Amino acid sequence: MKCTNSNEGLLLTQYVLHLLDEQDRRRFEVHMMNCEFCRLELSKADSETAVIGSLREEIVDSLHEQGVTFEGLKKELISIKKKRKILQNSFGEWLDNLNLFHRPKVLVPAGVIVIVLLTMIVFRHLGPGNVYLSMLSFEKFPYQELSTRTQMTTPSMSPLFLEGIKFYNEDDYKRAAKILKEATQESPERWEYWFYLGVSYFLNKQPKPSIVALSEADRLNKFALEIEIKWFLAQANLLNKDPENALIYLHWIENKPGEYSSNAKKLIDGIQNVNTILE
């Protein structure tokens, strides 16, 4: 079972801890009405949340007496997250990882609960698994726009490519990628085939094959849609949790005219803010 909308599902942690504003709270509740996965995750968290609330004062006093500060705990949590890539899909998964702390005095029942609570608060803006996911724009690049800008005509496109584009226009990126991959094998010199293959993989949240296809499009491309190719390459690298390579493309884009420059600057700022938190 999976979340029906991973972008909306990211709000689960904040919802459980009552950290959402009114608009986002209502948005998540609408999502949850149609998502059995999130309803199940919420039911798992209810009992832990109740215990946190009832023992809050006792927990904080106990940790203060043992010399445990919020800043110290925050640094250790961040260090563990970096090394172990802990996911935060549910409270249970965090409890399974608490043995990494190796602090017997802290790991009393009350301490366990507060560590979970503080962990969720520290990382409430980072999202499960990929801290850059919420920054990405999964907006489809229209095929018609590419045809217009490059003066391509439909007859120049292979039937296989056009079949893949049909599924692409219908937002069926999985099937589009499968057929467009065959189109690139049939005509490996066509950069535009590689481009739409890479975008299809990206929109289907498959970063590694997306990077491969978009890199080939970038290599073959003769200046048509150069900025757009690098924009999707930057995003695919962030989806692959590789901000260093993403920044290479973003810094290149920010110095170019047009709307992608401002989008690149926003992403650069977002990456820098996340990296500051993780330092």
User: 113-128: per-residue pLDDT in tens?
Assistant: 444 454 444 444 333 4
pLDDT at 96 over 80: no
CATH 1.25.40.10 correct for 134-278: yes
Note the pLDDT of residue 174: 94
- Kindly list the domain boundaries of the chain, sorted by start residue: 6-129, 134-278
The reported pLDDT for the residue numbered 111 is 42
DSSP letters spanning 214-279: HHHHHHH--STTHHHHHHHHHHHHHHTT-HHHHHHHHHHHHTSSSHHHHHHHHHHHHHHHHHHHH-
Of 64-68, 83-87, 139-143, 261-265, minimum mean pLDDT range: 83-87
CB of 164 closer than 8 Å to CB of 180: yes
pLDDT tens-digit readout, 46-80: 555 555 555 555 555 665 665 655 556 556 555 55
pLDDT digits (tens, 9 = 90+) for 233-275: 999 999 998 999 999 999 999 999 888 999 999 899 888 887 7
For residue 234, what are the CA distances in angstroms to 202, 226, 272?
A: 11, 12, 15
pLDDT of amino acid 222: 78
Query: Angle, nearest 10°, between helix axes 159-169 and 143-150?
Result: 130
User: So what's the pLDDT on residue 36?
Assistant: 85
Q: What is the mean pLDDT of residues 215-242?
A: 92
pLDDT for residue 9:
67
What was the pLDDT predicted at 137?
87
- The answer on pLDDT for 154 being more than 90 is no
Q: Which residue would you say has higher pLDDT here, 131 or 135?
A: 135
Please determine, for residue 37, whether its predicted confidence score (pLDDT) is greater than 70: yes
Unique residue bearing structure tokens 């924009």: 231
In this predicted structure, the answer to whether residue 180 has a pLDDT above a threshold of 70 is: yes
Q: What is the pLDDT of residue 214?
A: 97
Contact assessment for residue 138 and residue 173, using Cβ atoms and an 8 Å cutoff = no
Distance from C-alpha of 40 to C-alpha of 267, rounded to nearest angstrom: 33
- Residue bearing the bigger pLDDT, 223 or 159: 159
